[in-house]
Structure 1
Amino acid sequence: MASFSTVSCGVCDSQHTTTNADYWCPECDEGLCSQCLKYHSASKALRNHDIISVDNYKQLPPSIANISPYCSQHDRKFKNYCPQHEKSLVQNLKDIKLNFERVVKDRKQNLVEIQNQRQKFHDEIKQLRNKINEHLDSLEQLILQDLYAAEEKVKSQIEDFLGKLAEHTEKRDLLQTNMSAIKEYALDLQAFLGSKMVETEIKKHEIFMQSLFEDGSLHKIDLNCKIKNNLSDVLSTVTSFGSISVESSSPLVVLQTEKDKQAQIRTFHHAPPTTINDIKMTLKRKFEFTCVTGCSFSSKGDIFLVDYGKIHLLILKEDGTLHSDIPLSNPNPVDVTCIDDKTVAVSFPSSNQIQIINILTKSIESRKKTSSSCYGICYRNGHLLNCNIGTGIQKVNRSDNCSFTLIKDETLSNWSFVTTSKDKIFYTNNSDDTVTCYSLTGEKMWEYKDQSVRSPRGISVDKDSNVYIVSSGNNSILVMSSDGKQARKLLGQDDGISKPCGLQFDVKKETFIVANYYGPFLYGLC
């Protein structure tokens, strides 16, 4: 095979003549000069070969150009190869590009989440610091007021005392003046009687001075300030504001490969998916509870119902009997989703919060505030997804309560619901009469809007990605194709559907429950 620096004409070489090639024949695996190209093109056996220029040939990677179409042992052209292989490789490269784009978008989105989390915690730390400063400033003002008040009280007492001493000093000075006058000018009798009078006054002053020592008027007075021990201990015991940790959870990005497609094709070949026209169902049970708006299944098959009217969370066994009844602390609960065998999450739009409830202890484990009224909720891989009015679909991390808007939709109204399946998010917009599908990375896939869907609420997905929707405006249950192009009515008022709200599909048991306002229904596929 010719080198890339100089490519010689193979025909000329066979005739012991060295000529630089201007063209390359991949099928002959040799170069051709302009003259030999004429004979090559004139030959019936060779004229259909795809000729390329030497410059184009040099653009091939050496590892590819060095692959000869001829067998080195037999000097014969290879004949058997897979004609579809190149197409498969091209598709693989497209998949790799798509996967790279998905991973890059996922990491960038994660970076935005980290930045939002950092800002959120930064604000919380500053708010706490400001509250501590304000509290300490308030305590400082109070103790300084007490300090100045104590000083003023002592100062007033001492000044009053000095005032009394000043009065006695004036009287003493007057006695001294009188005594000098008596000695100088008074008659003996006057001097004797005057001295007795002065002696009496002096006795009074002596008694006064003695009383100052006895009544404590001359006690030394000091101000003292004792700082609270627990306040001083802050300097030694509180060594940090808190702790920062980094947690990881299952990836949200889903990679796509040609092998996965082939595996899906093989799987579907053996087990064809159920289309919306194939779906049939049978009523398994009707529950005697009213005002039910939200519903969910546990991994064990238990059924959770939200009683909007009585403000209770009902837990039913598979056979429909009541297992537990948990009173809820806030009014107007709407939706429920199962987190694990011990905990569920319930939305309370009137108080802008989601409560994590331990169904074993019947107690609230935590409360998670939402940016606005929150209605439909679902749980996936450590995160809660919820429908927030005027905001969109928000994602809340269960461990640190950090949240961000995953899908921005300012038109999202009350009584909208959300669910996830595989790598997609589905949600309803109750006032906009739409059902929308997004990827987990926030890419809009499709939106469905039709007269058959009026005031859509509850939404769920089966194993074949068929989408089940509550159309509360039509008092019906619809099933929609996974691509959002077709929809079909499954149940209506003739089946007892009246004021339906929530909906949940149990993929394992192929059953679904409708949170009907006048009594929930449990259906099974057949």
Structure 2
Amino acid sequence: MKFLLNIHAYKILPDGKYLILDSHSSISHLVLFNDDGMYIREVVAFRGYSSDTCFIRTNTVAVTLGIEKQTALVDVEKNEILKRINLSHVCDGVASDGQMLVISSMKKSTIVNLNDESHTILERIGADGIALFKGNIYGTIYKENKVFCYKITGEPLWICQHHDIFKPGGLILDNNGLVYIASYGNNRIMVVSPDGKSCKTLLSEADGIQCPYGIDINRETGLMMVSCEISDDSINESFQTAFVYKI
């Protein structure tokens, strides 16, 4: 079975399955694939464009619903939306450590405590891609070629603007705190050190990287998944796919 997907985000679930967010202007789908890349089923669909998803715990994931200013919690096994969390801003990126959600827009972000659903707004932290690791918030700003790290309290720790980071999209961290960035504008996967002081190219066009945006890592297995474009010269069209690498 073949699918024409507009892959904007995905996650490698703890059981090794791949959850892909297929986003279009009028409708978005969460789609589940096995670890061999074979289609299993559609989980849920949302009206309008959705931009990001993250794993929370057990069978639950979060999906941002863009201009609806909502983030949905979804049970992947039951194929159902558990609840929708209303926010005061557009919902772009989302990340979780199992206890809280961080939901970003370009103007500000919100921390949602998953135990009592209390909200803390971070006025100074706006981002395209967002990640949460050991009490720190990491983000990318696409138009400014910027990667940053803040404490969960909103205190800035570092900003990285390296000449090889161009139009960064998604980002994720490994167990060592290394920051992996999908550098969309120059077809690279970049790695930034935990202190933000050094940066190097991990993958490039020679490794199949073309217009990467989404990225995820299974910290237990070391598998990294990257969304890329591939071209079919016979019909002069490009399609989105996902490649899996061992890091």
TM-score range, shorter chain: 0.7 to 0.9
Equivalent residue runs for 1:214-253 within 5 Å: none
TM superposition score normalised by structure 1: 0.42
Q: 2:54 aligns with which of 337, 359, 374?
A: 337
Cα deviation 1:148-171 (Å, max 9, x = unaligned): xxxxxxxxxxxxxxxxxxxxxxxx
Instruction: Please tell me the residue identity of whatever aligns with 1:296.
Output: K
1:394 aligns with 2:106: no
Task: Check conservation: 2:50, 2:64, Cα contact below 8 A.
Answer: yes
Q: 1:382 aligns with which of 91, 99, 117?
A: 99
**Structure 1: tracts of 5 or more residues without a match:** 1-286
Residue 407 of structure 1 and its aligned partner are, at CA, apart by 6.0
Equivalent in the alignment of 1:299: 14
Structure 2 spans left out of the alignment, 5+ residues: 230-239
In the alignment, which residue of structure 2 is the partner of 1:447? 159
Q: Map residues 196-275 of structure 1 onto 2, 5 A cutoff.
A: none
**Distance in 2 between residues matched to 1:398 and 1:423, nearest whole Å:** 15
Q: CA deviation at 1:506?
A: 1.0
Contact in 2 for aligned 1:513/1:522 (Cα 8 Å): yes
Q: In the alignment, what sits opposite 1:483?
A: 195
Q: Distance in 1 between matches of 2:207 and 2:101?
A: 33
> Deviation of residue 474 (structure 1)?
1.5
User: Is residue 472–residue 500 contact of structure 1 (8 Å, CA) maintained in 2?
Assistant: yes
> Where does 1:498-513 land on structure 2 (aligned, <5 Å)?
498-513=210-225
Measured at CA, do residues 462 and 289 of structure 1 come closer, stay the same or move farther in structure 2, by a change above 3 Å?
farther
Which SS does the other structure have where 2:31 is aligned?
A: strand
Corresponding position: 1:523 with 2:245: yes
Greater relative contact order (Cα < 8 A, sep 6+): 2
- Give the drift of 1:508: 0.3
Query: In structure 1, what is the Cα distance between the partners aligned to 2:113 and 2:136?
Result: 18
Structure 2 CA distance for aligned equivalents of residues 523 and 407 of structure 1:
36
Q: 1:329 to 1:457 in 2, by over 3 A?
A: same
RMSD: 2.0
* AA matched with 1:455: K
Q: For residues 384 and 363 of structure 1, what CA distance do their matches in structure 2 show?
A: 19
Count of residues in Structure 1 that have an aligned counterpart in Structure 2: 234
1:327 Cα offset (Å):
3.8
Which residue does 1:432 correspond to in 2? 144
Check whether the contact 1:296–1:303 (CA below 8 A) recurs between aligned residues: yes
Map 1:78-227 onto structure 2 (within 5 A). none
Instruction: Pick from 341, 346, 349 the counterpart of residue 63 of structure 2.
Output: 346
Mapped to 2, the partners of 1:395 and 1:450 lie a distance apart of 28
Segment drifting more, 399-408 vs 450-459:
399-408
Shift of 1:289: 5.5
Aligned to 1:169: none
Q: 2:75 aligns with which of 349, 358, 371?
A: 358
Give, in whole Å, the separation in 1 of the partners of 2:135 and 2:112.
18
What are the superposed Cα offsets for residues 428-472 of structure 1, whole Å, 9 maximum, x if unpaired? Answer: 111221111122333221100122112211011111211100111
Q: Is the 8 A contact 1:370 1:388 kept in 2?
A: no
Query: Under a length normalisation based on structure 2, what TM-score does the superposition of the two structures give?
Result: 0.87
Larger strand share, 1 or 2: 2
Amino acid at match of 1:429: I
Separation (CA, whole Å) in 2 of partners of 1:288 and 1:488: 34
**Equivalent residue, structure 2, for 1:459:** 171
Residues 475 and 319 of structure 1: CA distance in aligned 2, closer, same or farther (over 3 Å): same
Partner amino acid, structure 1, of 2:118: C
Distance (whole Å) between structure 2 residues aligned to residue 456 and residue 318 of structure 1: 27
Corresponding residue number in structure 1 for 2:237: none
Counting helix residues as a fraction of each chain, which structure ranks higher? 1
